[in-house]
Amino acid sequence: MMVLGMNLLMGGLIVTVITAGEPNLLFYLTQPLSQSAVLGLILTITGFLVLSAGFIMVVHYDRQRSWHLKEIEKSTHFRNRKITIKTQDELLKGLADESSEK
């Protein structure tokens, strides 16, 4: 989306510069608008809007991605804990020790 916005923005600026003959910021106010000037203006405005929406989407999806990565990290902490599994012999020996202490 950002690539599309950048292409539209640059295309609009190039059409505007070619139409105006020189980069004049007040070109649209001082001369009557021709079809190519309107095309340049539309491309520039559309490119700016699409590029801005692309930046907003990048920030939004980056925040979602970081949240998902944190959740995955939390879930792997539980799996990575070492659990001591006692065998049957160790359990019986422990029960025998407890009963002999009483």
Q: Average pLDDT in the 17-37 region? A: 66
Chain segment 3-15, per-residue pLDDT in tens: 888 888 888 888 8
Confidence band for 91, pLDDT divided at 50, 70 and 90: confident
Q: Is residue 2 packed enough to be buried (19+ CB in 10 Å), middle (13-18) or exposed (0-12)?
A: middle
Cα gap 89→70, rounded to integer Å = 40
For the chain, the residue count is 102
DSSP state of 22: S
Structural domain harbouring 33: 2-101
* pLDDT at position 60: 92
Q: Is 21 left (phi over 0), alpha (psi -120 to 50) or beta?
A: left
Amino acid at 30: T
Q: What is the pLDDT of residues 29-80, one digit of tens each?
A: 566 667 777 788 888 889 889 989 989 999 999 998 988 888 888 777 666 5
pTM of the entire predicted model: 0.56
Domain count, the chain: 1
